[in-house]
Amino acid sequence: MKAAAFDYVRASSIDEICRLLADAGDDERKIIAGGQTLVPLMAMRMARPDMLIDINDVAELAGIHDRGDHIAFGAGTRQRALERSDVVSERLPLLAKAVRNVGHIQTRNRGTIGGSIVHGDPSSEIPLAALALDAKLVLRNLSGETEIAIDGFFEAAMVTNIEPDQLLTEIRIPVWQAARVGTGFHETASRQGDFAIVAAAAQVELSDSGSIVRAAVTVGGAAPSPVKLHTLEAALAGVSPDGIDALMNLVDQDIDPDTDVHATAAYRQRVARKLVSRALADAVEEAGK
């Protein structure tokens, strides 16, 4: 399990990275940040880039910035930094709950928020939280910077809509400013710390009367990529929390589960409903406090 040979460049600036990506020609050039997803794929020779561009030295690619209506994360910010961040736990509790389920301490010490999003594993946790909260992704290439919505970024299992010459530089996750906001995150994995078999993330805002003003709900492991439950979200708006369970059949509208060695499609479908229900219940309870 040794990677195929590659060239290695330790980049010192975003510009340098973009130039290296732009100059790739027929070569496959890959960004390496934490490497926690990429390196195993390379060890199994399922990924064999010609060049690795190491972005770990680029200071501006790491950091957590509170910008009022959103929190901006440098793409190279370690998952462990998210876990330890007061900004994250206070302002983005859904992300805080998600990140606690990511891998193990050793992998969170290297793994980054950007890497987790760019790889687009269908059952990884950080994309679920980011997708639920309608994060914006900042992509850079030599022509400049583009901000795109995360919804639609996840194309298929391990495939995301980023061009070969683009670098994800920043993830901007909106903060819900309302008083009564709650979050819930539930997942089931074969073992604690594994990729989820099914995971659900939910954030709700309640009105003074206790009805749902808006809800954000995502599910992982129940489709080739993380999915936002648009149908359910729309139906939840204006509903009293007592009415949530009656809407759970809507979960099926946006998911497309598959069978693999870990679980059957039927299992993923049924469990998705249950975990969405739990995540929403937690969110409502938290918002009501």
Partner 1 sequence: MSDIEITLNVNGRDRTVSVPPRMTLVDCLRDVLRLTGTHVGCEHGICGACSVMLDGEPIRSCLMFAVQAEGHSITTVEGLLKEDGELSDLQDSFWECHAMQCGYCTPGMLVASQSLLNENPEPSEDEIREAISGNLCRCTGYQQIVEAIQMTAKRRREGASHG
Partner 2 sequence: MVDAPANLPNYRYVSRKRRTKEDRRFISGRGKFVADVEVPGMKHVAVLPSPHPRANIVSIDTSAALALPGVHYVLTGDELGEATNSLFHGLDLPNVVWHPLAVGMTRYAGEWVAAVVADSRYIAEDAAELIDVEYESLPAAVDSEKMLDEDQPLVHPAHGTNVLFRKTWTWGPVADDFASVTNTVSYRARWGRSSTVPIETFGVVAKWDDTHEILDVWASIQMPQYQDQIASALRIPMNQVRVHNDVDVGGSYGVKRGIKHTVLVSYLAKKLGFPVRFIEDRLDNMSGGDAHGPDRIFDITMAFDDEGVIKSMKIRALDDVGAYPGRAPLQLGKPITALCGPYRVNSIEYEAISVTSNKTGQVPVRGFGQSPTNFAVETGIERVAKYLRIDRVEVRVRNLVRKDEFPWQIPPGSRYDSGDFHAVLESAVKTSNWDDLIARRDALRAKGRLAGVGIATCLEPGGGNNIFEFLFNPKLEITTFVESVLIKVDPTGVVSAMMCTTTSGQGHETLVSTIAGEELERDPDDIRVLHADSLEALPTRSPVASRMAIVLGTATSKAAREIKSKMITIAAHDLGVEQDRIEYADGEFSVRGEPARKLGWNEICHIAHKQFHRMPPGHELGLQAYAVQQVPGAGGLPNEKNEVPLYPCFSFQAHVPLVEIDPDTGKVKVHDYFIAHDCGTAINPDIVRGMIIGGVAHGIGAALYEKFEYDVDGQLLAGTFVDYLLPSAHEIPGVTDIEHCTPSPLTSLGQKGSGEGGYLGAPAAIASAVNDALAPYDIEINELPIRARDIEAALFEKTQ
Beta-strand ranges (E) seen in the chain are 7-10, 29-32, 51-54, 64-66, 70-74, 136-141, 144-149, 154-156, 159-160, 167-174, 181-188, 198-206, 212-220, 227-228
CB of 175 to partner 2, least distance (A): 31
Instruction: Choose, by CB under 8 A, the member of 105, 156, 157, 266 that binds partner 1.
Output: 105
231 binds, among partner 1, partner 2, none (CB under 5 to 8 A by kind): none
Stretch that binds partner 1, among 15-23, 32-40, 251-259, 262-270 (CB under 8 A): 32-40
Site residues for partner 1, window 63-82 (CB under 8 A)?
80
Rg (C-alpha) for the chain, rounded Å, is 19
Give the integer Cα–Cα distance in Å for 244 and 284.
10
Going by C-alpha positions, the residue among 126, 113, 136, 124 that lies closest to residue 64 is 113
Contact assessment for residue 111 and residue 102, using Cβ atoms and an 8 Å cutoff: yes
7 binds, among partner 2, partner 1, none (CB under 5 to 8 A by kind): partner 1
What phi and psi values does residue 28 have, to the nearest 5 degrees?
Answer: -95, 115
Tokens of 109: 């010490």
- Contact call for residue 210 and partner 1 (CB under 8 A): no
274 binds, among partner 2, partner 1, none (CB under 5 to 8 A by kind): partner 2
262 binds, among partner 1, partner 2, none (CB under 5 to 8 A by kind): partner 2
CB of 92 to partner 1, least distance (A): 22
- Contact call for residue 44 and partner 1 (CB under 8 A): yes
CB of 161 to partner 1, least distance (A): 26
Nearer to partner 1, 2 or 289 (CB): 2
- Contact call for residue 26 and partner 1 (CB under 8 A): no
- Contact call for residue 274 and partner 1 (CB under 8 A): no
What phi and psi values does residue 184 have, to the nearest 5 degrees?
Answer: -150, 140
As beta bridge partners, residue 32 has 54
Instruction: Choose, by CB under 8 A, the member of 43, 157, 234, 266 that binds partner 1.
Output: 43
Instruction: Choose, by CB under 8 A, the member of 22, 39, 87, 265 that binds partner 1.
Output: 39
36 binds, among partner 2, partner 1, none (CB under 5 to 8 A by kind): partner 1
- Binding residues for partner 2, rule: CB under 8 A, are 1-2, 4-5, 44-45, 188, 190-195, 197-198, 261-264, 266-267, 270-271, 274-275, 278
- Contact call for residue 45 and partner 1 (CB under 8 A): no
- Contact call for residue 8 and partner 1 (CB under 8 A): yes
- For 251-269, b/e burial (b = at least 16 CB within 10 A) is bbebbebeeeebbeeebbb
Give the integer Cα–Cα distance in Å for 271 and 3.
37
With 0-12 / 13-18 / 19 or more C-beta atoms within 10 angstroms meaning exposed / middle / buried, residue 53 is buried
Q: Judging by DSSP bridges, how do beta strands 144-149 and 198-206 pair with one another?
A: unpaired
Give the integer Cα–Cα distance in Å for 174 and 136.
8
Catalog residues that contact partner 1 under the rule CB under 8 A: 1-8, 10, 32, 35-36, 39-40, 42-44, 52, 54, 56, 80, 103-107, 109-110, 192-193
